């Protein structure tokens, strides 16, 4: 390996990218152009090709493959949300995830750990019970448990009562999982490319061409291309790209930060989340503790890291796991989250004909990657937005029918 590095580091001819090859240059026209080669865009390309036989597709990204929030998330997958619309949608995604490694013959290191949402107040217990009932009603494995059972599932967690926020109970979701987030994008990229989809990285979209209210082309740094339909899946850049199509969204772009510690021996099996303290932690297969909190207090298009984030996070984390005080933080980073006021996505058709949108994924969109890909592909291919996506339409804000998703990450109860 070090020899290979040396050889190709000094050579102009790199080995062919084994994942998805590199198309030579943009064609003048495609059936479908997908803006954003994150997990969502790549999954949509794959399902368009596989389920609908549409293979004349270009996926364009301004950076490298899946270097946006797909590369930056903390990889938690679950379906124990609060609204029936949300639970059904995320449940479909979890099921697709469970079979993904096998279906696409690529190991995404899907690891079912169990997911505990800690409750420290009576109000949080009430919400946990509410969520458990909605979940069970829709066939999702979810229950309220008390400290004795928490101690069995996670003996390392401090259940001390003489702390500022003692743990009163938890919402337990056994199917909660983590996966290798990059591998999810890679597997979709590889499978889509094998069916003929072109993936063009370092090809920023700079404009959308609209004629008589319908999208007809996309302007890029590498030239203009015409196309039949456009799907935008650009997460934190949703408002910026939508504006090129003359659309305004109910979205604020706000940084979300995370960090990992140095690796230690495995000790933490479940994923631990606290909605009241706004912190969550899981241990990766490499042994690192992966930790995060709530979004930054104000919007920003910059992925800088802050000290305040770490201080706030560690203050609570040390109360939950006092012994991690000796661990060193190895890396800290941020992604730009596309936050909606009701913590639900904005998906489906738009007032611009042939222009589809997959946005508003905020802090919760990694777990939705497969279902978004599949259902956005269905919308783009058939022109009919499926029922599961209808509650998330942009028009909901004008009908005052928001989907108040208080089961979303980093939302207080």
Ligand X SMILES: Cc1cc2nc3c(=O)[nH]c(=O)nc-3n(C[C@H](O)[C@H](O)[C@H](O)COP(=O)(O)OP(=O)(O)OC[C@H]3O[C@@H](n4cnc5c(N)ncnc54)[C@H](O)[C@@H]3O)c2cc1C
Which of 168, 242 has the CB closer to ligand X?
242
Cβ proximity of 350 and 356 under 8 Å: yes
235 sits near ligand X (criterion: CB under 6 A): yes
CA distance 146 to 125: 10
By CB neighbour count within 10 A (0-12 exposed, 13-18 middle, 19+ buried), where does 4 fall?
Answer: exposed
183 sits near ligand X (criterion: CB under 6 A): no
93 sits near ligand X (criterion: CB under 6 A): no
Kindly give, in sequence order, each residue whose CB lies less than 8 Å from that of residue 62, ignoring residues fewer than 6 positions away. 202, 203, 204, 205, 221
Cβ of residue 352: shortest distance to ligand X, in angstroms? 16
CA distance 209 to 227: 10
Nearest to 358 by CA among 231, 200, 256: 231
> Using CB distances below 5 to 8 A depending on partner kind, what does residue 1 bind out of other proteins, ligand X, none?
none
Cβ proximity of 34 and 10 under 8 Å: no
**Phi and psi angles of residue 101, each rounded to the nearest 5 degrees, phi first:** -55, -40
The interface with ligand X within residues 67-86 (CB under 6 A) comprises 67-70, 72-76
> Using CB distances below 5 to 8 A depending on partner kind, what does residue 249 bind out of other proteins, ligand X, none?
other proteins
> Using CB distances below 5 to 8 A depending on partner kind, what does residue 364 bind out of other proteins, ligand X, none?
ligand X
Cβ proximity of 273 and 78 under 8 Å: no
> Using CB distances below 5 to 8 A depending on partner kind, what does residue 39 bind out of ligand X, other proteins, none?
ligand X
Which of 62, 278 has the CB closer to ligand X?
62
CA distance 76 to 43: 18
CA distance 342 to 362: 11
Binding ligand X by CB under 6 A: which of 60, 251, 380, 403? 60
> Using CB distances below 5 to 8 A depending on partner kind, what does residue 299 bind out of ligand X, other proteins, none?
other proteins
The interface with ligand X within residues 353-382 (CB under 6 A) comprises 361, 363-367
61 sits near ligand X (criterion: CB under 6 A): yes
Which residues would be at the binding site for other proteins (CB under 8 A)?
A: 239-240, 248-253, 297-302, 304, 306-308, 341, 397-398, 400
Question: Interface with ligand X by CB under 6 A: which residues?
Answer: 35-41, 60-63, 66-70, 72-76, 204-205, 233-235, 237, 241, 256, 258, 292, 335, 337, 361, 363-367
């Amino acid at each position: 390996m070090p020899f290979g590095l040396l050889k190709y580091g000094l050579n102009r001819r790199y080995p062919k990218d084994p994942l998805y090859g590199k198309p030579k240059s943009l064609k003048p026209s495609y059936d479908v152009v997908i803006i954003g080669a994150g997990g969502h865009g790549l999954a949509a390309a794959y399902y368009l090709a596989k389920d609908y036989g549409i293979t004349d597709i270009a996926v364009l990204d301004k950076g490298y493959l899946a270097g946006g929030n797909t590369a930056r998330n903390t990889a938690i997958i679950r379906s124990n949300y609060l609204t029936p619309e949300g639970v059904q949608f995320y449940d479909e995604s979890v099921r697709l995830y469970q079979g993904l490694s096998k279906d696409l013959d690529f190991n995404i290191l899907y690891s079912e750990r169990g997911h505990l949402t800690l409750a420290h107040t009576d109000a949080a217990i009430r919400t946990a019970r509410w969520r458990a009932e909605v979940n069970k009603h829709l066939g999702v494995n979810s229950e309220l448990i008390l400290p004795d059972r928490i101690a069995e599932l996670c003996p390392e967690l401090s259940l001390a009562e003489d702390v500022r926020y003692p743990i009163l109970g938890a919402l337990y979701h056994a199917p909660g999982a983590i996966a290798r987030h990059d591998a999810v994008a890679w597997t979709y990229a590889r499978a889509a490319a094998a069916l003929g989809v072109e993936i063009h990285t370092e090809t920023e979209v700079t404009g959308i061409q609209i004629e008589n209210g319908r999208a007809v082309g996309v302007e890029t740094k590498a030239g203009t291309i015409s196309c039949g339909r456009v799907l935008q899946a650009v997460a934190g850049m949703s408002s910026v790209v939508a504006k090129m199509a003359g659309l305004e969204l109910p979205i604020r772009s706000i940084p979300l930060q995370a960090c990992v510690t140095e690796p230690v021996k495995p000790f933490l099996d479940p994923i631990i989340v606290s909605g009241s303290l706004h912190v969550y932690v899981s241990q990766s297969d490499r042994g690192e503790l992966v930790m995060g909190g709530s979004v930054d207090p104000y919007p920003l298009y910059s992925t800088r890291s802050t000290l305040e984030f770490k201080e706030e996070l560690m203050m609570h984390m040390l109360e939950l796991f006092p012994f991690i005080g000796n661990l060193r933080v190895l890396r800290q980073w941020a992604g730009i989250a596309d936050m909606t006021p009701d913590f639900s996505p904005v998906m489906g058709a738009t007032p611009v004909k042939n222009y589809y949108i997959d946005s508003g994924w905020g802090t919760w969109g990694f777990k939705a990657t497969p279902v978004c890909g599949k259902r956005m592909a269905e919308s783009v291919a058939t022109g009919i937005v499926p029922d599961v996506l209808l509650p998330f339409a942009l028009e909901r804000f004008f009908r005052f029918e928001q989907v108040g998703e208080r089961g979303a990450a980093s939302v207080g109860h």
